[in-house]
Structure 1
Amino acid sequence: MDRRSKHLSSEERGVILAEHNRGSSQRLIGQLLHRPASTICRELTRGRQEDGTYCPQTARRAYD
């Protein structure tokens, strides 16, 4: 993936969703995407729903 953009792509959010559901750590997800673990942490926080699950669409809306 192209790293010139600092924003997460839809594909990256999809990877975050899949890996988070698998129970992968934020550090591991960051390594897979070549992003800092802190970026993954902020994304998961931004997309957290009331039931505690991560929703990429919610995260995107909150970011925009």
Structure 2
Amino acid sequence: MEVDLHTALALARASTRALLELSPLAHREIVEALQHEIAVLEGHSDPLSLAAANAVKQYLPEAA
């Protein structure tokens, strides 16, 4: 299971980086989608959701 999770995360990072490089519009859309997901996760306020929000935030420095 842990290998599957690491594989999924690696693929998600690679996909996000590739989409960010497509165009300025794609870059903006990805950033907005990440910000939305972070807000939704933080809205749940449980420890697992907050941890997930912090993990997604790691994409923003690359995206911004």
When the two structures are superposed, what TM-score results if normalisation uses the length of structure 2?
0.33
Larger relative helix fraction:
2
Q: Which structure carries more relative contact order (alpha carbon 8 Å, separation 6+)?
A: 2
